[in-house]
Amino acid sequence: MQLYPTYLLVTLISVAAVAWYSSNALSRFYLSHMETDLMARALFFEPQTVRLLNPLNGEAIDKLCKEVGRHTMTRISVIMPSGKVVGDSNEDPAKMDNHVDRPEIMAASAGKVTSSIRFSRTLEQKMMYVAVPIMNDRKVVTIIRTAVSVTALDKAVADIRTKIAMGVLVIALIAALVSLLVARRITRPIEQLKKWSESIARGDFNYNPPEANSEEIESLSASMNQMGKDLKGRIDFITRQRNQMEAILASMVEGVVALDSDQRVLSMNQAAGKMLRCDPQSATGKTIQEVVRNTSFHDFVLAALQSESPVEEEFVMAGRQERYFKVRGMILRDAQAQRMGALVVLNDMTQVAKLENMRKDFVANVSHEIKTPITAIKGFVETLLDGALDDKENAIRFLEIISRHTDRLKAIVEDLLELSRIEQAGGQELSLEKASVKEALETAIQLCETKAVTSNITIEMDCAEDLTATFEPTMLEQAIANLLDNAIKYSEEHGCVRIRAKARDQEVVIMVEDDGSGIDQDHLPRLFERFYRVDKARSRSLGGTGLGLAIVKHIMAAHGGHVSVESQIGKGSVFTLHLNP
């Protein structure tokens, strides 16, 4: 509606200008008309005056002035070039002052016909004077001055001005009304277009374009409609792309962090949040120093922001558990290909590093375990070759030692083979079946019977006839046998080993309990690692390889279950197998 006041103002100014100009022109027209009239009256009066000039008959002139003045309602004065008034229609010339200083008289004395409007001191009102010089032989003989009151004229002009002002007022009112209507007609669709563009800006594209009442508005509305459609298309496209991007980032195993040039987080995916131990949502907008407390990572981010080419680095993050990361960083560019930050991709290598370490440990352990019996065998074989063969008694003793070490080697190799067999089986589907637990326990006990009898150890079993679980019989029997074997090995002579099985909380548990030496708490977390032994010498002397419990752990993992241990030094241990029912 800002158009309306402008409209109104323009209309009012033009109407006022026309009114002012016309009233002025009117007044000018009146005055000039009056001037010509006065001049004509003076000229009309001239012949009668001239006749009374030579010789000068002042009285007759004054009389004539008074008579003609009365008839023509005009003030007539006859004035000598010297300024002396000879006759006057309204006053006694003898009482009138010298008129030489009056402007019209001054001009007439110089031979010019002029008019002037001024206040008459004689008649005490505003008058228009016209002075006509009467010439004789190029000399001004006398001056005839005619005058009328302008007050009446002023009043008439004022009247006309009032009428014009009234007219202007009426015209202004009509103009105001008309311009209001016109402005409304123009501004309403513009207001609607404005609302429409605001709704587009808010992302609401459903608003309908306004009804156009002019060609301009119609074409503006059409182009805005087109613009709205294009915009919606683009926004939809961008939204689709963003959703795709978010889905990709969310499903990525790698952590992705986008940073601006001030090292503030622009975005971060879930994986990165997990790796850097922070909430991706609240991290956005913060500097990387606030989000991650790791100076090597900060240095890396700085390097990625400054380098032209991608940078790569590995770093360790301290914490409850050390974690290894491989990070790649590259510059992020905006739509104008200007640097706007950097993109950092994190790969958690902790598991890989762990596996690598385990592999290295395993190779070292295997080599070490095998080296001892091989060195011993080689030593004794060489001794025999060096002549000990002839000493029959010693030779037999040496050969027995060689045989023991060979058994040990055999045991290690067999256990390793067993382990790798289970590991491989773990990757594939085991042929699991619902089977009787009691039968498995009995078979395992049979496997260890000889050893138990030799050590004078009794084995007690407690298991319900109908107890079943899901397992692969040979494998489970092997696991139970390993636990029984250990229980027997680490029990005192005449000891007792109890084996119990029952269903408990959605699982079937098999517990192997002994009253033997027990295990210190410190060793429990590592007990199931390959080649881990609490007392190496004791284990070796008992024929242990350090692989028994590792085999149990793997067998249980292949069954989707696990093994746990509770133990107290000097009191004994309980190993529990947890199986699916």
Least gap, CB of 548 to ligand ADP (angstroms): 3
Token readout for 95 is 């009482």
Q: Which is nearer to ligand ADP, 278 or 563 (CB)?
A: 563
Least gap, CB of 490 to ligand ADP (angstroms): 3
Which residue from 342, 330, 345, 332 is spatially nearest to 259, judged by alpha carbons?
342
Least gap, CB of 527 to ligand ADP (angstroms): 5
Least gap, CB of 479 to ligand ADP (angstroms): 11
Least gap, CB of 460 to ligand ADP (angstroms): 15
Q: Which is nearer to ligand ADP, 100 or 565 (CB)?
A: 565
Choosing from 402, 487, 499, 508, the residue that interacts with ligand ADP (CB under 6 A) is: 487
Environment class of 240 (CB within 10 Å of its CB; exposed 0-12, middle 13-18, buried 19+): exposed
Residues 338-397 that bind ligand ADP (CB under 6 A): none
Residues 528-567 that bind ligand ADP (CB under 6 A): 532-535, 539, 544-550
Q: Is the dihedral of CA 353, 354, 359, 360 positive or negative?
A: positive
Least gap, CB of 447 to ligand ADP (angstroms): 15
**Residue 573 binds ligand ADP (CB under 6 A):** yes
Q: Which is nearer to ligand ADP, 326 or 451 (CB)?
A: 451
- Span of 47-55, 116-124, 259-267, 510-518 interacting with ligand ADP by CB under 6 A: 510-518
Q: Which is nearer to ligand ADP, 249 or 550 (CB)?
A: 550
Token readout for 538 is 């004791």
Distance between CA atoms of residues 276 and 273, nearest Å? 5
Least gap, CB of 423 to ligand ADP (angstroms): 16
Environment class of 91 (CB within 10 Å of its CB; exposed 0-12, middle 13-18, buried 19+): middle
Q: Which is nearer to ligand ADP, 80 or 547 (CB)?
A: 547
- DSSP per-residue string spanning 199-258: HHHTT---PPPPPP-SHHHHHHHHHHHHHHHHHHHHHHHHHHHHHHHHHHHHH-SSEEEE
Q: Which is nearer to ligand ADP, 50 or 524 (CB)?
A: 524
Cβ-contact 425, 478 below 8 angstroms: no
Least gap, CB of 251 to ligand ADP (angstroms): 40
Q: Which is nearer to ligand ADP, 115 or 545 (CB)?
A: 545
Choosing from 45, 332, 514, 554, the residue that interacts with ligand ADP (CB under 6 A) is: 514
Token readout for 157 is 């002009």
Q: Which is nearer to ligand ADP, 99 or 533 (CB)?
A: 533
Choosing from 256, 327, 510, 519, the residue that interacts with ligand ADP (CB under 6 A) is: 519
Q: Which is nearer to ligand ADP, 315 or 532 (CB)?
A: 532
List Cβ neighbours of 367 (8 Å cut-off, separation of 6 or more). none
**Residue 41 binds ligand ADP (CB under 6 A):** no
Residues 102-141 that bind ligand ADP (CB under 6 A): none
List Cβ neighbours of 34 (8 Å cut-off, separation of 6 or more). 128, 148, 150, 153
- DSSP per-residue string spanning 126-152: EEEEEEEEEEETTEEEEEEEEEEESHH
Least gap, CB of 488 to ligand ADP (angstroms): 8
Q: Which is nearer to ligand ADP, 302 or 534 (CB)?
A: 534
Strands 458-463 and 496-504: parallel
| Size of residue set near ligand ADP by CB under 6 A | 21
Q: Which is nearer to ligand ADP, 280 or 546 (CB)?
A: 546
Least gap, CB of 438 to ligand ADP (angstroms): 22
Which positions from 65 to 104 touch ligand ADP by CB under 6 A, shown as an x/- string?
----------------------------------------
Strands 496-504 and 339-348: unpaired
Using only C-alpha atoms, what is the Rg of the chain? 64
Residues 427-486 that bind ligand ADP (CB under 6 A): 486
Environment class of 300 (CB within 10 Å of its CB; exposed 0-12, middle 13-18, buried 19+): buried
Least gap, CB of 471 to ligand ADP (angstroms): 20
Choosing from 210, 255, 516, 561, the residue that interacts with ligand ADP (CB under 6 A) is: 516
Least gap, CB of 549 to ligand ADP (angstroms): 3
Distance between CA atoms of residues 352 and 239, nearest Å? 37
Token readout for 316 is 């360790």
Distance between CA atoms of residues 444 and 462, nearest Å? 14
DSSP-derived secondary structure letter, 571: T
Taking the alpha carbons at both ends of the chain, their separation in whole angstroms is 82
Choosing from 490, 495, 555, 559, the residue that interacts with ligand ADP (CB under 6 A) is: 490
Q: Which is nearer to ligand ADP, 183 or 527 (CB)?
A: 527
Q: Which is nearer to ligand ADP, 215 or 493 (CB)?
A: 493
- DSSP per-residue string spanning 62-101: HHHHHHHHHHHT-EEEEE-TTS-EEEESSS-GGGSPP-TT
Strand, coil or helix: 580: coil
Q: Which is nearer to ligand ADP, 189 or 544 (CB)?
A: 544
Distance between CA atoms of residues 79 and 224, nearest Å? 84
Least gap, CB of 356 to ligand ADP (angstroms): 23
Sheet with 496-504, strands from edge to edge, namely: 458-463, 496-504, 507-514, 572-579, 562-568
Please list the residues that pair with 317 across neighbouring strands. Answer: 323
Least gap, CB of 442 to ligand ADP (angstroms): 20
Q: Is the dihedral of CA 249, 255, 258, 264 positive or negative?
A: positive
Q: Which residues bind ligand ADP (CB under 6 A)?
A: 486-487, 490, 514, 516-517, 519, 527, 532-535, 539, 544-550, 573
